[in-house]
C-alpha cells in the first residue's frame, strides 16, 4: 500500500520534507532540515533462530547493545536481519527502515520496541517507506497508526553500548 494513501485514508496529518537519499544518521543530519521531531534510527533485528523479528527505534546518537537487548527481551542472540527478511516482512529496502513500514506487516510478525527517550518527544521523524523523504508525525498519531495496523508497541529503555556518540 502507498504510505500517503494510508495516511490520507486514516486522516493522519504529517509534514513532508524531500531530500537526497540518506543511508546513515550522519547523512540525515547533513541533508534533512532541522525538524521539530525526534531523530530516529531504526534497526530491524531477529533472534538467532529467526523466530522473533523486531523493529527497534532509538535516537540517532544511541548505539544499541544487541547482546544486552537480547537479555532484556529474553530472546536468543539478536542480530540485524537480512535485506531479504526486511523486504519480506516490512516491504522496504535497507536505508528505508521505518515505523511506517508496519503497514506492510499484515501478519503481525514484527514486534515494536521504542526507546523511552525517543518516546518522550511530541513527534517522530519517519521515512515514508523510502529514504528520499522524511515525515514528521506526532507521537499521538503514531499511536493511532499502531492501532490501525494492529501492532502493540513497547516503550523500554533500550540498552546502549559504551559512550553515546
Q: What residues form DSSP beta bridges with 84? A: none
Residue among 112, 81, 82, 84 nearest 99 (CA): 112
**Phi, psi of 32, rounded to the nearest 5 degrees:** -100, 130
In whole angstroms, what is the distance from residue 76 CA to residue 52 CA? Answer: 9
CB atoms within 10 A of CB 120: 10
pLDDT value at 163 more than 60? no
CATH architecture classification, 3-156: Alpha-Beta Complex (3.90)
Alpha-carbon Rg for the chain in angstroms: 15
* More confident call, 35 vs 103: 103
Cell of 108: 503481525
pLDDT value at 165 more than 50? no
Look up the pTM and report it: 0.93
Amino acid at each position: 500500500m502507498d504510505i500517503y494513501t494510508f495516511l490520507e485514508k486514516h486522516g493522519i496529518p504529517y509534514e513532508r520534507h524531500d531530500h537526497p537519499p540518506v543511508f546513515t544518521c550522519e547523512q540525515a543530519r547533513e541533508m534533512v532540515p532541522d525538524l521539530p521531531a525526534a531523530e530516529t534510527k531504526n534497526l530491524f533485528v531477529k533472534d538467532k533462530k529467526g523466530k522473533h523479528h523486531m523493529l527497534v527505534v532509538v535516537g540517532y546518537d544511541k548505539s544499541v547493545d544487541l547482546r544486552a537487548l537480547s537479555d532484556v527481551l529474553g530472546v536468543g542472540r539478536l542480530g540485524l536481519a537480512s535485506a531479504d527478511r526486511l523486504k519480506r516482512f516490512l516491504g522496504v529496502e535497507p536505508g528505508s527502515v521505518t515505523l511506517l513500514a508496519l503497514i506492510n506487516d499484515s501478519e503481525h510478525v514484527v514486534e515494536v520496541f521504542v526507546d523511552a527517550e525517543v518516546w518522550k518527544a511530541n513527534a517522530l521523524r519517519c521515512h515514508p517507506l523510502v529514504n528520499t523523504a522524511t515525515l514528521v508525525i506526532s507521537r499521538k498519531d503514531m499511536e493511532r497508526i499502531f492501532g490501525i495496523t494492529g501492532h502493540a508497541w513497547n516503550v523500554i529503555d533500550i540498552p546502549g553500548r559504551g559512550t553515546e556518540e
